Amino acid sequence: MRYSFILPVRNGGAYIKECVASILAQTLQDFNLIILENKSTDGTAEWLQNLKDERITVMPSSKSLSIEENWARILSIPKNEFITLTGHDDLFDSNYLQVMNDMIIQHPDASLYQAYFRFIDAKGEEIKKSRLMDEKETVSQFLYSLFRDSIDTMGTGYMMRSKDYVAVGGMPAFPNLLFADHTLWIKLTALNYKATAQQECFSYRIHENLSKHSAASSYINAFFNYLNFLDSIKSEDIKIKTVIDENITPYILYYCRSLAHRLLKTPVEQRKGMTVSGFINKCIYYNNLLAEKELLPLNYSKIKSAKMIDDNLILRKAYLLFRKIYKKPIYS
């Protein structure tokens, strides 16, 4: 076999049944499915045990693992020449593997493969289609697209060589894997280039995910891990350095605004010692590390107001009380 679908799961519910069915329905049958089961308590483990298909290998964990630990298992398990990773709630069209196979033949030197896809809701209804992507992208072009938010890139649908996945260290163990997939795709694209099939062949499900439920401290630590990674690669290529220099300031500003307010609405005892002022200062530090353009977050009223409220004990308590009464999200 040439291909492996790898599916880490904990409490997959009804979604995993649809996901597995979509994988097994591939028109190109040169694959196996490796399921990394992580102590599910909703019947997923029992359902997987009853699957009778020689293409499926279920690898249960010996103890309850974090999401980072379960995905880390991908590095050491036996896998075929090419792998694709998926969440348990996403779906593949029956021609997905054939499309990827054709792309590998067409672009044998690419180090990462992708395709167009659609976003679906919890019921499987289409919400929208992914935006247009160039068929061939270098790492600097891919970085530019990420900074400008001009493409849709998720954790499902990418194809890569197993040896390359291992060589770059696999999925980084960022908290809750936030920003980890972008880091991985950048590392893999940097090996040569990313090729994108111009066909739509899988579905990515949008619903309440880890990014929405992650604690502010986890999200912030993952963000800083990502910025540290960007600092580590900027000296590798003048084009990468130029893209980072020219685009990182508005990118950091966006997250400075949204994460400052996420931190503000987090009770102090759940922040792991973080303050809004401290977070803003670290955003300035990373901008100075990565770019020549100055970051002035306090020139923006929403960031300035978050700092002002957080710096004042009475205002902060009043704000948190208001948040309990008024549940509508203000910033994500």
Residue 171 to residue 250: CA distance in whole angstroms = 26
Structure tokens of 239?
Answer: 């084009």
Chain centre to alpha carbon of residue 192: 21
pLDDT at residue 299 in the model: 97
How many Cβ atoms are within 10 Å of 87's Cβ, its own excluded?
19
How many Cβ atoms are within 10 Å of 167's Cβ, its own excluded?
13
E-state strands within the chain: 3-9, 31-37, 56-60, 82-85, 91-92, 112-120, 126-129, 136-137, 159-161, 194-205
Task: Judge contact between 234 and 304, C-beta under 8 A.
Answer: no
Residue 261 to residue 247: CA distance in whole angstroms = 23
CATH (one of 3.90.550.10, 3.30.470.30, 3.40.190.10, 3.40.50.300) for 3-210: 3.90.550.10
pLDDT at residue 294 in the model: 96
Strands 56-60 and 31-37: parallel
Q: What angle do CA 250, 256, 260 make, to 5 degrees?
A: 160
CA gyration radius for the chain?
Answer: 21
Task: Judge contact between 200 and 82, C-beta under 8 A.
Answer: no
Residue 179 to residue 224: CA distance in whole angstroms = 10
- Sorted by sequence, the CB contacts under 8 Å of residue 258 that are 6+ apart come out as 331, 332
Q: Which helix (H) or strand (E) holds 257?
A: helix 238-264
pLDDT along the chain (332 residues), means of 10: 97 96 98 98 96 96 97 98 97 98 98 98 96 96 97 96 98 97 98 97 81 83 98 95 97 97 93 96 98 96 96 90 68 41
CATH 3.90.550.10 intervals, the chain: 3-210
Structure tokens of 325?
Answer: 């009464």
Provide the whole-model pTM. Answer: 0.94
Task: Judge contact between 283 and 289, C-beta under 8 A.
Answer: no
Tokens 């291909």: give the residue: 3
Backbone angles phi, psi at 220, to 5 degrees: -65, -45
pLDDT at residue 208 in the model: 59
Render 158-172 in DSSP notation, one character per residue.
Answer: -EEEHHHHHHTTSS-
Is residue 51 helix, strand or coil? coil
pLDDT at residue 319 in the model: 86
pLDDT at residue 193 in the model: 98
Backbone angles phi, psi at 304, to 5 degrees: -60, -40
Handedness of CA 252, 254, 260, 263 (dihedral sign): negative
Is residue 32 helix, strand or coil? strand
